[in-house]
Structure 1
Amino acid sequence: MLEWAAGRGALSHSTALDLWGLRRQPTSEPMHLSVPLGCGLRSQSDVVVHQRRGFTLGPPEVAIQGGVPVTRVERALVESWPLLPETDRRGPIIRAVNERLTTPQRLQGELERVPKLTGRAALCVLVERLTAGCRSELEIWGHDRIFTGPGMPRFARQFPVRAGGRTVYLDVYAEVERVNFELDGATTHGAPQQREIDLRRDALLATCGILVVRYAHRRLVQEPDQVRQEVLAILARR
């Protein structure tokens, strides 16, 4: 496709996400190419051409990934949002932030440049959760259904603590009470090896006076009201 474009465009949208390593684009989806307005290229059966006013084929608009020009990651994520199936939309954005390809603040800046994006309200909510420190679907679930609302303190998320000569990041930390609530995923934390790592980490934090309370995925999802009451009770006794 790039040979056909003859250097007049950059891979973009969901095609760029593939090059950024954030989502494998199925062969059933068309390729996407962003080009400057008036460049002469038109969409074909398997290629969607997006003509953009003021678009330039160089930094900061375009980067090189895998040896080919692609739109920068924030633009690719935002522009892909309305194109992807709803079940696929959030994953690439969460992954991009976790892998430090971008930040919630840079995503917010990109959103401000696209005020008429389809599905913008839902994307704004996701960026707000990432800005608050959530770094997984489970943490977003906990934020929305358990760790906010009446009686809850202002928790710090992914809070860095120095312990044993290294930095440990705490999932949901009540700094005044010195209680860290860890949200364990459905698969990873069930493995015996991971369980041993978790226990050693919790013991290390105990030497710093931090109580660690772990909640399994099943309880968080199936018993949010009970978990919420437990959290409030634990904090009240600290």
Structure 2
Amino acid sequence: MPRPQRQAPPYDPDLVRARLSLQAGVASRQQFAAIGVTRNDLERLLRRRVIHRLSDGVFCEQSNRLVSPLQRAWWACLHYSRSGLADLSALEFARDTSGAGLTLPIHVAVPRGRGSAPLPEVVLHRLARADQLVVQAGLGRMRPEHAALRVAAVATNENGVVAALSDAVNWRVTKPERMRDALADLPRLPRRSLIAEVLDDLVAGACSVLERGYLVHVERAHGLPEGVRQEPRRTPGGWEFRDVAYLAYGLVVELDGRLFHSAKSARDKDMERDLDDLLGRRDSARLGYAQVFDHGCRTAGKVATLLQQRGWPGLPVPCGPGCGLAP
């Protein structure tokens, strides 16, 4: 007697595989239902170890078992309805939407009042306006300008505030003008005055902790002339940008942050830029963290002298009673 043929599943297995592959091997019961997978089908898939239950209503491929932060991000955003990546996790994903740059723990924004328990290595942020701040497109996530503002607001010091905002700009996930507009959406954000001040400086072209430190603590505090920030120059290798250019006096100030100028290739490029400036009859002065943050007053005096030697008619002013420029 011939064996009865096994009936084909009412759903398309290729659609199941496609859904899982789009989401790092993680999918929800609702997503399976949308492609024809019933509860009974899910139980069969679980028994056959085709999928593995992560939590109520969320599943992953058995072979994966959450080996990456991206999988944990999908799990969290599918486990909590109307949620999305928040704060640093939202910025990391905006920088690289493959998810390769995500780090643990995963930060997730959920509507305030939801009583779900937290998941392992997931930090919940219960927000009254989560629905307005989170974009539900693929992997839900907070808009990068709001995420950067929230990261800056909890920084441990002023330099941390500058770093959070300038990183978002340097990663090209948002612009300082957008963050300045987004401040209106976060009326209770801590450190609003400082953040607004830093954003104004970013708009002016001070795009790092060191660059803003020079602007605030050296140039502005001591009455030096205002340089042109991120001045573009075309070179044989393409467009380059000078940190601060005093165009009327033929002086360029380059600010070398430790993170961005430690590699040999970066140092070689810096030296090439200095040669280009000399060919263009401009002198370059390279400053680091010590000159700006440890000896800002002394640095201001030296930069003032360089400017005076090149025709600046002004005088530097002391920044306060303890300033090294004070008489």
- TM-score calculated relative to the size of structure 1: 0.79
Note the C-alpha offset of 1:179: 1.2
| Alignment correspondent of 1:180 | 252
Which aligned pairs between 1:61-80 and structure 2 lie closer than 5 A? 62=135, 64=137, 67-80=138-151
The answer (yes or no) to whether the contact 2:217–2:293 under 8 Å persists in 1 is no
Structure 1 residue corresponding to 2:179, chosen from 74, 90, 107? 107
SS at match of 1:206: helix
Would the alpha carbon gap of residues 209 and 164 (structure 1) be closer, same or farther in structure 2, given more than 3 Å must change? farther
Which runs of 5 or more structure 1 residues have no equivalent in the other structure?
none
Would the alpha carbon gap of residues 184 and 88 (structure 1) be closer, same or farther in structure 2, given more than 3 Å must change? closer
The number of equivalent residue pairs is 226
Alpha-carbon displacement from aligned partner over 1:99-152 (angstroms, at most 9, x marks no partner): 211111111000123233122122112212211211111112111111114541
SS at match of 1:146: helix
Which aligned pairs between 1:123-138 and structure 2 lie closer than 5 A? 123-138=195-210
Structure 2 residue corresponding to 1:225, chosen from 280, 288, 297? 297
SS at match of 1:20: helix
SS at match of 1:126: helix
| Alignment correspondent of 2:77 | 2
Cα RMSD after superposing both structures: 3.0
SS at match of 1:96: helix
Which runs of 5 or more structure 2 residues have no equivalent in the other structure?
1-75, 311-327
| Alignment correspondent of 1:52 | 129
Q: AA paired with 1:210?
A: R
The answer (yes or no) to whether the contact 2:95–2:171 under 8 Å persists in 1 is no
- Overall identity of the aligned pairs, in %: 23
Alpha-carbon displacement from aligned partner over 1:46-76 (angstroms, at most 9, x marks no partner): 53432328x359xxx5164xx5110110111
Asked which structure has the greater CA Rg, the reply is 2
Would the alpha carbon gap of residues 9 and 221 (structure 1) be closer, same or farther in structure 2, given more than 3 Å must change? closer
Which aligned pairs between 1:81-230 and structure 2 lie closer than 5 A? 81-83=152-154, 85-86=156-157, 88-164=160-236, 166-186=238-258, 188-189=260-261, 193-230=265-302
Would the alpha carbon gap of residues 43 and 50 (structure 1) be closer, same or farther in structure 2, given more than 3 Å must change? farther
The whole-number CA distance in structure 2 between the counterparts of 1:214 and 1:116 is 40
